[in-house]
């Protein structure tokens, strides 16, 4: 029987294979990690300095220390929630959203219209 940590690691590995996360996955994150993800979703891409400034603008009881921010960013990048370009204070972070499957609805609508017009 696999333990909780084994199941969590399997979920992390599965997300890496799928190429990112969905917005619904945010609900499963701990509050600290979810806070960072929400900030990044609003801006799409932020460098480390911008993240620090955004965290500093939060209400005092919601702010993170630099150590906590660094640990959270490392954890999110390690788990493939974030794409990290560069390192340290020059790093740029982007949310790694999973691509959605394309809709085939539009194709079938046009095919149906074409077939009816040809009659």
d(CA 62, CA 72): 14
Specify the pTM.
0.63
Domain ranges within the chain, ordered by starting residue: 4-118
Per-residue pLDDT of 39-74, as tens digits, reads 998 888 999 999 999 999 999 988 999 999 999 999
Per-residue pLDDT of 8-43, as tens digits, reads 666 666 655 555 566 677 888 888 898 999 899 888
Q: What are phi and psi of 20, to 5 degrees?
A: 135, -165
Q: Hey, which bits of 25-71 come out as E strands?
A: 45-47
**What is the CATH code for 4-118?**
1.10.10.10
């Amino acid at each position: 029987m696999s333990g909780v940590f084994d199941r969590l690691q399997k979920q992390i590995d599965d997300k890496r294979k799928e190429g990112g996360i969905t917005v619904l996955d945010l609900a499963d994150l701990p509050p600290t990690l979810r806070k960072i993800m929400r900030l990044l979703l609003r801006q799409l891409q932020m460098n480390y300095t911008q993240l620090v400034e955004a965290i500093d603008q939060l209400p005092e009881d919601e702010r993170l220390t630099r150590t906590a921010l660094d640990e959270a960013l490392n954890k999110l990048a390690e788990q493939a929630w974030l794409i990290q370009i560069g390192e340290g204070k020059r790093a740029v972070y982007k949310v790694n959203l999973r691509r959605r499957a394309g809709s085939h609805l539009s194709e079938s609508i046009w095919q149906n219209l074409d077939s009816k017009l040809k009659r």
